[in-house]
Homo-oligomer: A and B are copies of this chain.
Amino acid sequence: MSQLLRVQNFLLSADGFGSGEGQSLEHPFGHANPADLGAWAFATASWPNRTDGGGTRGLDDYFTRDYARNIGAEIMGRNKFGPQRGPWENLDWQGWWGDTPPFHTPVFVLTHHLRPSFTLADTTFHFIDATPAEALQQAKAAAAGKDVRLGGGVNVVKQFLEADLVDTMHVSVAPVELGRGERLWTSHDELLDRFHLERVPSASGVTHLIFWRR
């Protein structure tokens, strides 16, 4: 089995936005409320930040527990890594995720502003200035035979879709409209010439969209 590039648990609004306008340290998703988009995931037993032993084990939990399955590396954009723009003023920022990031693999951050790699627990962040194809090649080599997760944000997913590098994509569409922000698509119909699609409504109110390459 060849290595896949997989988008997993990508949170989207009903009108196609993956994050709101005005990202900042205090508001990683801009004006969007992360709970509006991600409550279905936060409620599951397999949500990575859960420590209480509870949570739901229905359909949504299949999606949260698939997040890390057979993943050997992640590619993300700089805006997922942090709120800074332009040259690094210093290297104090090490991501939103504290001492134990939820990736547990090498992570390749796409940026024009390079900085040295660093490791937190079992996650190592590398900073690369590369095309999607080049980044994927590096990530696949680091993944040691496993798949690569495309972590977002919206612009990174769009770039990799345009380069036709995405093999599978799971998007959860929440019943909320954002109106503005980072938009993944006007309609997912744009993708149907290249991907199979299944729409799976969940009891939690979101609709899971599962795409895989034709």
Interface residues of A, Cβ cutoff 8 Å to B? 1-2, 53, 56-59, 62-63, 65-66, 69, 168, 196, 198, 200, 202-203, 208, 210, 212
Given known A-B contacts A198-B203, A200-B200, A203-B198, A212 and B58 have beta carbons under 8 A apart = yes
| Chain B nearest CB, measured from A123 CB (Å) | 21
Contacts of A202 in B (CB 8 A): 198
Contacts of A62 in B (CB 8 A): 62-63, 66
In-complex Cβ contact of A58 among B2, B57, B59, B198 (8 A): B198
Q: How many copies does the complex hold?
A: 2
Contacts of A198 in B (CB 8 A): 58-59, 202-203
| Chain B nearest CB, measured from A18 CB (Å) | 22
Indicate if the CB atoms of A56 and B196 lie closer than 8 Å.
Answer: yes
A170 nearest CB neighbor, chain B only: B62
Q: State the CA gap A212–B59 with chains docked (Å).
A: 11
| Chain B nearest CB, measured from A196 CB (Å) | 7
Given known A-B contacts A65-B69, A66-B62, A56 and B200 have beta carbons under 8 A apart = no
| Chain B nearest CB, measured from A29 CB (Å) | 26
Given known A-B contacts A1-B53, A53-B1, A200 and B59 have beta carbons under 8 A apart = yes
Contacts of A65 in B (CB 8 A): 66, 69
In-complex Cβ contact of A210 among B59, B69, B208 (8 A): B59
13 A-B residue pairs with Cβ-Cβ distance under 8 Å, sorted by A, are: A56-B196, A56-B212, A57-B196, A58-B198, A58-B210, A58-B212, A59-B198, A59-B200, A62-B63, A62-B66, A65-B69, A69-B69, A200-B200
Chain B CB within 10 Å, residue with most, of A56, A66, A200, A202: A200
In-complex Cβ contact of A212 among B53, B57, B203 (8 A): B57
Q: State the CA gap A212–B60 with chains docked (Å).
A: 13
Q: State the CA gap A79–B180 with chains docked (Å).
A: 59
Query: With A56-B212, A57-B168 given, can you name 18 additional A-B contacts, CB distance below 8 Å?
Result: A1-B53, A2-B53, A57-B196, A57-B210, A57-B212, A58-B196, A58-B198, A58-B212, A59-B198, A59-B200, A59-B210, A62-B62, A62-B63, A62-B66, A65-B69, A69-B69, A198-B202, A200-B200
